[in-house]
Amino acid sequence: MGADSKAGQGGESLLFLTDEQLRKGIEAMFFAYRAFTADPDRILENYDYGRAHHRAIHFIHRQPGLTVNALLGTLGVTKQSLNRVLRTLVDDGLVEARVGRRDKRERNLFLTEKGALLERELSDAQRARMRAAYRAAGPAAVAGFRQVLEAMMDPDIRRQYQAIKDGAA
C-alpha cells in the first residue's frame, strides 16, 4: 500500500509523508515492538529475570569478552543499573566476569554454558517471530525494513551497529 496506490483512503499518491502515513508508521513501531518483546518476556518470567537481563545476555553473547564499560555504552544505562543485573547473572552462574589480561581493572564478560542455554532459548523465540514476519513480507520488504530502522537510529549507535554488522562471527 501507500506510495503508489493512487486510490485508497487518504489520497497519498506520491506524497507518502502525510501526517497520517507517519502516524501509521509510529503506531506500527509501537505495536510491533510490543509483540517483539512479548515472547522473551514470557520466557524470562520462568527464570525471574527481566528485559534488562535479556539485553545483557544478548550483547555478551554477541561479543564475548566485552568489558563492562563497553556493555554500558551499548545498553545506554548507568553502571549502577547494569551492575544490579550483572550481579544476579554472575551469582546465578550464567555469566562469567574474568579479570582483564592487559588491564586488570577491566572485567571481560562471557556466557557460561548455562548462560548460553538461556540465550538460545530467548533468541530462538525472538528469531522465530522475526523469521515468520520476514517470510510473510518477503525479501524485498526485509531489505526496506532494515534500511528504515537503520536510518532511524542515532548516528553513534548506527555506527556501532554497523561495525558488528556481519562481523563478530
Partner DNA sequence: TTGGAAAGTCAACATCGCTGACATAAAATC
Partner DNA sequence: GATTTTATGTCAGCGATGTTGACTTTCCAA
Footprint on this chain of its own copies (rule: CB under 8 A) = 1-5, 8-10, 12, 14, 16-17, 19-20, 22-36, 38, 55, 58, 62, 76, 123, 126-127, 129-154, 157-158, 161, 165-167, 169
Options 2, 76, 93, 144; binder of DNA; rule CB under 7 A: 76
* Distance in angstroms (rounded) separating the CA atoms of residues 112 and 93: 7
The interface partner of residue 31, options being its own copies, DNA, none and the CB cut-off 5 to 8 Å by kind, is its own copies
Check residue 5 and report its DSSP letter. Answer: -
Draw the binding track, 93-132, toward DNA (x: CB under 7 A; -: no contact). Answer: ----x-xx-xxxxxx-------------------------
User: How many residues lie near DNA (CB under 7 A)?
Assistant: 32
CB atoms within 10 A of CB 81: 13
Q: How many CA atoms lie within 13 A of 58 on its CB side?
A: 15
Max alpha carbon distance in the chain (Å)? 65
Indicate the residue among 38 and 99 with the shorter CB distance to its own copies: 38
CB of 33 to DNA, least distance (A): 12
Q: What is the 8-class DSSP label of residue 99?
A: E
Q: Is 48 in the site for DNA (CB under 7 A)?
A: yes
Q: How many Cβ atoms are within 10 Å of 57's Cβ, its own excluded?
A: 25
Of 157, 159, 133, 167, nearest to 63 by C-alpha is 167
The answer to whether the beta carbons of residues 39 and 29 sit under 8 Å apart is: no
- Told to check if 79 binds DNA by CB under 7 A, we report yes
The site partner of 144 among DNA, its own copies, none (C-beta below 5 to 8 Å per kind) is its own copies
